[in-house]
């Protein structure tokens, strides 16, 4: 024992314990997020509880609380029907429950508004015959829903076209405004032509709008009436139903299909219900695009800076000061970068751009307000020190002999840099890039004041000219977590969404990092025995 102590065995154990602790923390964190997040989409059975006082409720059991000396736990039910009860969740005293049943005809509706509905189908009123199908009410409903969804998609498409028309009118209006701004008299004829064209478009707009309104009214006449556990009736428009299932009657396979469709919705659809339901696609898109724009700026800037500091600058007081400044930049709180981004990019550069490029739109700002470009630039300021430090490390690890060999063969310093030094420094640069991406993807504070919003009306890339709209505001997974988890009116219902969003953010960062790590290891293999 004493001998082991003398040999320093305990230090080995200490460091081993520290590693275990770290791993454990990571595992617990990921575990909690995964269990809570991934379980959410599995359709849970609906329990029909009859209480001692005769009242009844239908819902999924979401939580249980052990009470000492009682036979039955206190149960938390997700009862849904927010429009009827005003609340989604209820705690029920375990002792007060007289009976707990799982009726196979209990229906769970996912709706466009007001969250889930739990109840029983009473009757069905289909507006048009082409929606009709044989069988009982439930199978008729099942047959009608996809058709209704299809028609709803057509309406959405028409509305998309309407938005295009609107955009066209808007751009004409802007052209006219620009001409007026320039010199109204000189361009009188051109302005007149523009106005004629605008009127034509406006007429088409009216016509199409009316057509849409007719279709929608027709579509919304198809309704179904449901009963809740207490027997209260509720008429629900079929077009408002996103999904309808009877979870107690579903097989494992059916539940798996439901789960898959929910995951697909998560990855490809837009959010509903103030972000607590539906998909996360705009946030995923915004996060990835922001990280990419950030990389486009931060990577070259950091690499070039590091190359100058390490390869060209004469080592002296100034270079040392610059290096210390860069290292310290990495420790500045991110919100400070946000403020700098707001002041410099948004109010400074953005406002100047507006005056130069879009004077006719003022006082409405175009670039002079938060947007994905400014947020990305702010983040690239934040991450550039990381890239610089890693690149410098990579450059300094290259043996001097190789540079000398190249120079002795008559290469210039730049040729040496390009052909010998840089290829070998790539693994180091990629390491820096990984760290920068991980940092940028998780950062929220500076984004909140430079361009992130709770709900962006349009993606930063779409089919309208000029296709990439860098001035647009965007959604971000990190901000989504904050918004849904802490700013939403119905926090309890939003909780699973927070876990899911967290999981997605972690997965995205992991995927980005892993790709870079694989790339780096391949590069390393090429240069493996280059050092001796």
Partner 1 sequence: MRIQQSAQPPYRLAVDDPIIAIRNLDLYYGEAQALKDITVAIPRRQVTAFIGPSGCGKSTLLRCLNRLNDLVDSVRITGSIKLEAMEINSGDVDVIELRRRVGMVFQAYNPFPKSIYENVVYGLRIAGVRKRSILDEEARRSLQSAALWEEVKDRLGESAMALSGGQMQRLCIARAIAVNPEVILMDEPCSALDPIATAHIEDLIDALKKTYTVVIVTHNMQQAARVSDYTAFLYLGEMIEFNKTDLIFTQPERRQTQDYITGRFG
Interface with partner 1 by CB under 8 A: which residues? 314-315, 399, 401-412, 415, 419-420, 423-424, 526-530, 532
Nearer to partner 1, 359 or 401 (CB): 401
Nearer to partner 1, 480 or 520 (CB): 520
Distances (CA, A) of 467 to 52, 203, 289, 461: 62, 27, 14, 5
C-alpha 33/C-alpha 416 separation (Å) is: 49
| Least distance from partner 1 to the Cβ atom of residue 314, Å | 6
| Least distance from partner 1 to the Cβ atom of residue 306, Å | 19
SS3 category, 358: coil
Nearer to partner 1, 323 or 469 (CB): 323
| Least distance from partner 1 to the Cβ atom of residue 308, Å | 16
Nearer to partner 1, 315 or 462 (CB): 315
DSSP string, 271-297: EETTTTEE--HHHHHHHHHHHHHHHHH
Nearer to partner 1, 251 or 528 (CB): 528
| Least distance from partner 1 to the Cβ atom of residue 436, Å | 25
Nearer to partner 1, 10 or 419 (CB): 419
Q: Are 76 and 61 in contact (CB under 8 A)?
A: yes
Question: Which single residue is written with the structure tokens 């036979």?
Answer: 71
Conformational region of residue 463, where left means phi above 0, alpha means psi within -120 to 50, and beta covers everything else = alpha
CA-CA-CA-CA torsion sign (326, 476, 164, 191): negative
Question: Which single residue is written with the structure tokens 């600058």?
Answer: 313
| Least distance from partner 1 to the Cβ atom of residue 292, Å | 30
| Least distance from partner 1 to the Cβ atom of residue 423, Å | 7
Q: Residue 477: which of 501, 495, 453 has the closest Cα?
A: 501
Nearer to partner 1, 1 or 408 (CB): 408
Q: Residue 406: which of 429, 427, 424 has the closest Cα?
A: 424
Tokens of 426: 């790539």
CA 511 to centroid of chain Cα atoms: 15
| Least distance from partner 1 to the Cβ atom of residue 315, Å | 7
For residue 394, count CB atoms less than 10 angstroms from its CB and return exposed for 0-12, middle for 13-18, buried for 19 or more. Answer: buried
């Amino acid at each position: 024992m004493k001998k082991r102590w003398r040999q320093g065995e305990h230090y080995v154990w200490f460091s081993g314990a520290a590693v275990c602790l770290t791993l454990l923390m990571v595992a617990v964190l990921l575990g909690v997020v995964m269990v809570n997040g991934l379980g959410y989409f599995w359709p849970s059975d609906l329990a029909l509880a009859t209480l001692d006082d005769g009242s009844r409720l239908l819902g999924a059991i979401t939580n249980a609380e052990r009470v000492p000396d009682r036979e039955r736990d206190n149960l938390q039910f997700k009862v849904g029907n927010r429009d009827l009860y005003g609340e989604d969740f209820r705690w029920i005293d375990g002792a007060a429950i007289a009976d707990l049943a799982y009726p196979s005809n209990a229906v769970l509706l996912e709706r466009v508004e007001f969250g889930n509905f739990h109840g029983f189908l009473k009757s069905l009123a289909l507006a048009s015959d082409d929606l009709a199908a044989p069988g009982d009410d439930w199978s008729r409903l099942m047959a009608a829903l996809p058709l209704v969804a299809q028609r709803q998609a057509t309406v959405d498409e028409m509305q998309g076209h309407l938005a295009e028309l609107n955009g066209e009118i808007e751009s004409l209006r802007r052209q006219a405004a620009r001409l007026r701004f320039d010199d109204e008299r000189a361009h009188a004829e051109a302005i007149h032509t523009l106005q004629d064209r605008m009127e034509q478009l406006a007429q088409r707009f009216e016509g199409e709008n009316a057509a849409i309104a007719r279709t929608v009214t027709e579509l919304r006449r198809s309704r179904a009436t449901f009963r809740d556990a207490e027997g209260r009736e509720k008429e629900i428009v079929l077009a408002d139903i996103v999904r309808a299932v009877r979870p107690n009657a579903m097989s494992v396979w059916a539940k798996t299909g439901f789960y898959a469709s929910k995951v697909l919705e998560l990855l490809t659809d837009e959010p509903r219900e103030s972000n607590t339901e539906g998909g996360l696609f705009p946030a995923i898109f915004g996060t990835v695009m922001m990280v990419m724009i950030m990389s486009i700026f931060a990577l070259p800037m950091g690499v070039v800076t590091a190359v100058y500091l390490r390869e060209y600058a004469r080592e002296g007081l100034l270079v040392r000061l610059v290096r210390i400044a860069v290292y310290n930049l990495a420790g500045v709180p991110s919100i400070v970068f946000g403020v700098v981004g707001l002041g410099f990019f948004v109010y400074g550069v953005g406002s100047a751009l507006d005056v130069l490029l879009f004077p006719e739109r003022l006082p409405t700002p175009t670039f002079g307000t938060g947007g994905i470009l400014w947020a990305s630039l702010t983040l690239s300021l934040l991450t550039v020190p990381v890239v610089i430090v890693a690149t410098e490390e990579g450059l300094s690890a290259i043996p001097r002999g190789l540079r000398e060999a190249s120079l002795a063969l008559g290469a210039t310093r730049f040729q040496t840099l390009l052909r010998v030094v840089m290829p070998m420094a790539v693994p180091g640069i990629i390491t820096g890039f990984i760290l920068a991406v991980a940092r940028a993807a998780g950062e929220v504070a500076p984004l909140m004041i430079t361009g992130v919003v709770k709900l962006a009306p349009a993606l930063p890339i779409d089919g309208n000219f000029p296709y990439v709209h860098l001035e647009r505001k965007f959604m971000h997974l990190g901000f989504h977590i904050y918004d849904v988890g802490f700013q939403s009116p119905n926090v309890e219902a939003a909780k699973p969404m927070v876990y899911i969003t967290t999981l997605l953010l972690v997965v995205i960062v992991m995927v980005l990092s892993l790709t870079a790590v694989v790339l780096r290891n391949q590069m390393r293999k090429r240069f493996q025995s280059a050092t001796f």
